Every structure is written in C-alpha cells, then in structure tokens.
Amino acid sequence: MKRLRYFIRRTIMSMIQSPLLNGATIGTITVALMLLAFFTLIVLNVQNITRQWSRDIQITVYLEQVPSTTKLEQWQQEIENHPMVENVTYVTQDQAFERFRTRLGQNDDLLDGLLPEILPASFELSLAQEARSEHGAETLVQDLKKNPAFSNFRYGQDWLKRYDAFMFLLKLTGTLAGGFLIFATLFVISNTIKLTIYARRDELEIMSLIGATPMFIKIPFLAEGALQGITGALLALGGCHALYYFFLKKGLSALLTTTAASNISFLPLSVQLGVILLGLLLGVTGSMLPLRKFVRI
Amino acid sequence: MNMIQMCKIAKIYPNGAPALHDIDLKIPAGEFVYITGSSGAGKSTLLRLLYCADRPTRGQILMGKRNITRLNARNVAFLRRQIGFVFQDFKLLLNRTVLENVALPLHVQGVSTEETRTRAFELLQYVGLEYKMQRKPLELSGGEQQRVAIARAMIVRPKLLLADEPTGNLDSSLALEIMGMFSRINKEGTTVLVATHDQELTHQTPHRVIALENGHVVSDSRPEANTESIEPQEAH
C-alpha cells in the first residue's frame, strides 16, 4: 500500500515537475490520435452513406404472363427464400401502369386509350447486404433465370459497375491511408516517448545506483506513459469532436442544401473507447521499449 | 575479514578494448584505499565491476563472503543498497530538493517517510547542509552538491563507500574538505574506495594507494609501510 502511494505520488509529481516534456508527449499523442480518430470518423460516415446508397440496388424481374394466384405465391415464396434477397414486392400491371402515368406527369395524356396490359407484371427485389454488388446481382439473376416465366431482368448494370469501382477505390484508399496513419501514429508517439525517457536517463541511472529494483524504476514511468496516453486520447476525442461539430456538422450543412450533412454522425462509443485504449497501450508500450534499453543494471 | 577480494579479474569491453588484466586485490573491511592512475588506466572500470555496472570477462569478485560476479538484476539492486556512491558529476536529481535527494535510497527500500525524513535531516546536519534542505541541487555550489551526494551515500549506513573522482570538479580546498569527510566516514567503520588521478590528494590525506596503469596494478602501497610485496606484472 505504501509502495502504491509512492508510485502514484511519484507519477503525478514527475508529470508536474517536467511540464515541458510531459506537455510535448501529451501534445504529440493528442495530435496523432486526433488525426487517426478523424480519419476513422470520415471512413465510417462514408461507409454509412454508401450503405444507404446500396439499399437502392434493385432487380426487377418481368414476367411473360400474369401468373395465377397459386403460382404467384409459390414464386414469391421461392424468391423470398433466396439468401441473397432481402425483400420482394409483386407489381401488378395496373400498378405499373399507374406508376408510368405518374412519371409522365403533364404528358400522361399519351397513355389515353391504352390499357394496363401493355406493361408486364413484375417482381421487385431488394438485395441482401452481402449481395449488393455487380457480381451479387448477376449471380442472383442467373439463379432466377432457371424459371422460364421470368423473361427479362433489369438491375442497373452500369450503375452497379460504377458503384463497385467506387467501393473498391474507397476500400483501397481507406486501407492504405489508414495503415499509413496507424504506422505514422505509432512511430511518432513511440519516438516522442523514447526521447522523453532519454532526456531522463540520468534519473534512471541514479535510481538504479541507489538500489532500486528494475520494476521499482519502471513502474512510475509506465504509469506516466499510461496517464499521458489516456490524457492524449481524451484530448484527441475532444479535438475530433470539435472538428466534427464545426467542420462537418455546421460547415457542411451551411454549404450543402441536402440533408446529407444531418446524416453525419460522431464516432460510436465502441470506437471512442478503442481510441482511449489505443492511447493507453501506446503510452505503456511506448515507455516500456526504451525503458528496457535504459534500465540495465 | 576482507571486504573485497578480486581474483584474476580481467575486463575486455565488447569492442575488444582491454580495460583490466589479471587483477588480484584484497581490501580488508574498514580500510581506506585510493585507486590511482592516469585517465584510461582502468580505475572507473574497477569501480564499475564492484557495483556490478559491468561484469568481469574473467575472474571472481567476492564482497564479504558473497560472489558478486554473476548476480541477476534484482540481486544487484539489493547489493547496491549496502554501498554508498559518490561521483565526480554528483548524480543528483535536479528536479528534487536536497532533502528528497538524500532521502531517495531509503524511499527505494520502503523505509517509512517519518524515519526517512529524520535520517535525511541527520545526514544533512552531518555534512552541514541542513539549512539548505529545501533547495534544488542547481542552487548549490559544486562543493555543496558533493556534500549532498555524500549524505545520500551515507543514509543507508553503507559497509562500502565507492567514490569515482569525487573531487574532480572541485577546487583544492573543497577537495580537502571532501576528503576529510571521507576520512571521518572511514573512521566510523565504513570501507572507503576512492578512484582519483590527483596524486597530490593522496599525499595530503595519506592512505593505502593502489596504482593502475593500462589495466595492471603497478603498485600497492600503505603510508606507514612503503610498497607492499606485489608481484611485478609483465609489461603488455
């Protein structure tokens, strides 16, 4: 208990006694983690937006003839049971005709004298999350083609191609930039901590000369690293929230007239906890590695 | 009883530079010994082996009855609690007060705060610096800093006091004062080893002198009985 009190007092005193070194370390952790957190925030939001876009991917299956009620129920059941299908809606000829009329707007008089039978009945399929790609849509269409009553399919092939290319680019950029950012964060933080410990190597030497055991020397430094990591992470989250609020929330809503800005959300709690944990781990391991080098008895 | 016994000690640094060759030494408990020699003679290396900052390449070192040649890190720490250290550059923690610096070895050993403060104050009185106990080391003169270092060394009531060029940064009158302090500590029963290149000092405060040259012991003399019988070593 006495030892614990000593370690806590020593850790706090040491942080107070070296405000410059301590401030530099916390500042570096804050900036590095803030960049990482803000990058994560953008990636998560872009993912969220693209997920919303992907809900619009739809396959329309046109039917040769209007099926009987039994057949209709059977097919609808078959399609619904397909693992790549999220939802299926049957569109009757009347409904299709009505939609067409609505779309024509002021020119709806073009349909005067025509009957709904000129348009085919159809199934409208929305895809399950994992099937929302060109490949997914094509696989599903191949399966549906086994039914000869399904004559024609529409699923916005060109749009899907562009969507796939965009998603690929997004993943590639996210992985590369994220990987680079994580590496840079680790590098900068561990080197800053290494330098601060290097600046205090005399203290380490003196402590070992007067008979302090390696653990006794290391514990206050590790605790200091942990505190610096947590403080840096909390400040980073605060800074990231300020960026999110003023730049994304306020700035974008002023710039864009759409509701896109209102859909942007801050980092979920799990990610926030992850940032704090990362700060803690970086602080402790960043201190541990140089201590192993300097605390040699 | 011997405080230190070195048998055929050799030290070669990893870069291949030899520092000590076949050193055989016996230092009885309670003795005051100078280790002299020019820069690079091996004085500091010899002291480093005694406080286990380095390990000998060959040979054995006994401290009391304990072989200290291959101690692990934890046991090295416990060994050092019985040794006092004084260095040329004082090795004080600059961001702590004089009192905290002196008290540090007892803090490390887990002695109660009250006892630590009382003992640190006594030691500061011993070296005449009790009225500066709340100062930081850099607010003191070189001589005063060295006295703080001596107080810190003495707080553990060491059996052995190792001093590496303790007067190197001090003028001659301060150097004499510090040596007087070491003599007083020695009279109280502590074995004292002082590494110095200052020949004058060994004449002003005469004690046993072990002279090193290129890592060899070239003479071992006591003030009352001149050169002790040591086997002359071959020139290398």
Query: Could you report the per-residue pLDDT of B95-129, keeping only the tens digit for each?
Result: 889 999 999 999 888 888 899 999 999 999 989 99
Tell me if B114 is assigned to some domain. yes
Model confidence at A127, pLDDT cuts 50, 70, 90, reads confident
* Residue A296: predicted pLDDT: 64
Nearest chain A residue to B104, by CA: A210
Average pLDDT over chain B, rounded to an integer: 88
| Model confidence pLDDT, tens digit, residues A142-177 | 888 887 777 788 877 777 788 888 888 888 988 898
Q: Is residue B121 part of a domain?
A: yes
What lies within 8 Å, CB to CB, of A201 at 6+ separation is A294
Confidence band of B32 (pLDDT split at 50, 70, 90) = very high
Sheet holding A85-91, edge to edge: A85-91, A122-127, A58-63, A150-154
A252-256, B12-16, B196-200, B212-216, range with the lowest pLDDT: A252-256
In-domain check, residue B148: yes
| A6 part of contact set with chain B, CB < 8 Å | yes
The answer to whether B93 contacts A206, with C-beta atoms less than 8 Å apart, is yes
- On chain B, the residues whose CB falls within 8 A of the CB of A199 are none
User: In this structure, is residue B228 part of a structural domain?
Assistant: no
Interface of B with A in 95-154 (CB under 8 A): 95-96, 104-105, 107-110, 112, 152
Could you say which of B93, B96, B108 has the minimum Cβ distance to residue A211? B108
B200 part of a folded domain: no
Q: What is the pLDDT of residues A80-103, one digit of tens each?
A: 888 888 888 888 888 888 888 888
Token code pair at residue B40: 């690079």
Q: Considering the domain boundaries, does residue B107 fall inside one? A: yes
Among A50-64, A86-100, A186-200, B44-58, the range with the most confident prediction by mean pLDDT is B44-58
pLDDT band, very low/low/confident/very high, at A279 (cuts 50, 70, 90): very high
User: Does position B17 have pLDDT exceeding 60, yes or no?
Assistant: yes
Supply the range of the domain harboring residue B120.
96-156
Band of residue A75 on the pLDDT scale cut at 50, 70, 90: confident
From its phi and psi, is residue B83 left (phi > 0), alpha (psi between -120 and 50) or beta? beta
Domains in chain A (CATH in brackets) are 2-53+163-294 (no CATH), 58-154 (3.30.70.3040)
Helix, strand or coil, per DSSP, at residue A170: helix
Give residue A265's pLDDT band: very low, low, confident or very high (50, 70, 90).
Answer: confident
Q: Are strands A150-154 and A58-63 parallel, antiparallel or unpaired?
A: antiparallel
Least confident of A85-99, A202-216, B155-169, B220-234: B220-234
Number of independent structural domains in chain B: 1
B77: nearest CB among A3, A18, A213: A213
- Alpha-carbon distance of B119 to B234, in angstroms, equals 49
Q: What are phi and psi of A29, to 5 degrees?
A: -60, -45
Q: Is residue B130 in a domain? A: yes
CA atoms of A194 and A201, how far apart (whole Å): 10
Say if B143 falls within a structural domain.
yes
Cβ–Cβ < 8 Å for B51, B81: no
Tell me if the pTM is above 0.80.
Answer: no
Q: Is B157 on the interface with A (CB under 8 A)?
A: no
Task: Evaluate whether A263 touches A212 at the Cβ level (below 8 Å).
Answer: no
